Amino acid sequence: MTDERTAVVSFLKKCNTYAQASIQRKLERGEEEDIPKWEAYIEFNDHALEEIANGTLDRWFSDQPESAPPIHRLPVDSMEHVDRSIWLNSVLSPRPVVVAGTLNGEGERNFAPLSSVMQVSTTPPYLTASFSIHKDKRPRDTHHNLRNGSTVVLNLMPPTPRGATIVDETATPLPRGEDEGLLLPLETVPEQPLLLQEAVAAIEASFVEEHALPDAVATLTVLKVEAVWFSTTTIPAGGLDVLCQHGRDDMTPSPQGWKQRVEKHYGPV
């Protein structure tokens, strides 16, 4: 349903862009008699876009029966590792996937995708990320570099097949010191070797501390946000359209369906 809704929204927006350009051309030619028709056309499309966004037209995009309630309790302790991973990744998704860039002590780059990054505090601005280890018990290069003083640039990728390819390629296990950024054509912002040119936005952060997770090989790492990288200095009006992980291995666009603002957490005005 999301894909159908996204396609319709994209089409209507393109129609409005074309109509606005037509109005401009008619103004330049002095042909103003048809302009009200184009304006009415844009107004109609805007109304349709609003009803898609607020969920009024959801019934147009779904022929699925109402979902059944979650009545089965499935204890995770009795599951095998892969089954447990599939369940947790399926339920707790989608979530943004970032391509993390760090430097080792010799100044060599490392890129690796992460899907466990989460904001946990605004003041101070803290993130957390979970790092597992390689099968040979060696720490992940990103984690190793953070421990040794490297900052990290968390590149948010565009929701495109190219963005998914960058995630896939930078996930390739390479010996320490080898640059995953050389596995495919990958440009960075001038004088910023860890900031990908194709990123939608990025977060620059530094290592604060880490905590061993009980009975787990993964380590919970706390990062302090130092800066946000964006294409303008204007604060975004809403969430960005970025690449997400949905399920265990699938990449997908961020949800672009209906939205509803919630504000009660601000308390009385």
Distance separating alpha carbons of residues 34 and 152, to the nearest angstrom: 55
pLDDT at 152: 96
Please report the pLDDT score of residue 117 as a whole number.
Answer: 94
Cα separation, 16 vs 40, whole angstroms? 11
The candidate with the shortest Cα–Cα distance to 100, out of 15, 221, 17, is 221
Among 45, 46, 252, which Cα is nearest to 163's?
A: 252
DSSP codes of every residue in 25-78: HHHHHT--TTHHHHHHHHHHHHHHHHHHHTTTTGGGG--PPPPPP------GGG
Q: What are phi and psi of 118, to 5 degrees?
A: -145, 135
For 116, 118, 266, the CA distances from 212, given in Å and listed in that order, are: 15, 17, 34
The predicted pLDDT at position 1 comes to: 45
**Which pLDDT value is given to residue 57?**
81
* Residue 127 · residue 227 · CB < 8 Å: no
- Percent of the chain that is helix, strand, coil (3-state, to 5): 35, 25, 45
Reference 194, options 266, 80, 95, 112; nearest CA is 112
| 119 backbone φψ class: left, alpha, beta (φ>0; ψ -120 to 50) | beta
Minimal CA–CA distance to 9: which of 72, 53, 42?
53
Do residues 131 and 219 make contact, with C-beta atoms less than 8 angstroms apart? yes
Predicted confidence pLDDT, tens digits, the chain (269 residues): 456 778 888 899 999 999 999 999 988 888 888 889 999 999 999 999 888 888 788 778 766 556 677 778 888 888 888 888 888 878 877 889 999 999 999 999 999 999 999 999 999 999 999 998 877 778 889 999 999 999 999 999 999 999 999 999 998 887 877 777 777 888 999 999 999 999 999 999 999 999 999 988 899 999 999 999 999 988 887 788 899 998 888 888 887 666 677 777 777 76
User: What is the rounded CA–CA span in Å between residue 174 and residue 112?
Assistant: 10
| Maximum Cα–Cα distance across the chain | 75
Task: Compute how many other C-beta atoms are within 10 angstroms of the C-beta atom of residue 3.
Answer: 12
pTM above 0.75, yes or no: no
pLDDT in the model for residue 32: 86
Show me where the domains of the chain are located.
2-61, 81-253
- Selection from 133, 137, 117 nearest residue 125 by Cα: 117
One CATH from 2.102.10.10, 3.90.420.10, 1.20.1260.10, 2.30.110.10 for 81-253: 2.30.110.10
